[in-house]
Amino acid sequence: MQEICSEDRVRIKSCISGDLEDQYLKDIIEGLSAEKKRISSVFFYDEAGSKLFEKITALPEYYLYGTEMELLREISPQICSSFEGIDIVEIGSGDCSK
């Protein structure tokens, strides 16, 4: 892992090389330099990040996942009937429970 950016308050280490590293660095610096700080969720979805997100979605405070699953159970027949002739539909990232 190499250090690609080091300033007084920010240190970024990367295990990616090439064009993606340049784009990721640009995205991180842009997000942390914005008035409303942000980091793209793409940086959280390694194996550990995915497992953490699964745990978060199981919390009662994270009502979005439960609401989404309830809606999908209710309207999945209507959704499926509108996809005749289509073999795969990706309806959201996550643990494939949808």
* Mean pLDDT of the chain, nearest integer: 76
Chain mean position to CA 14:
18
Handedness of CA 54, 60, 61, 62 (dihedral sign): positive
44-87 pLDDT tens trace: 677 777 788 888 888 888 888 888 889 888 988 888 787 777 77
Chain mean position to CA 7:
27
Which among 30, 29, 24, 59 has a CA at the least distance from the CA of 43?
A: 24
pTM above 0.75, yes or no: no
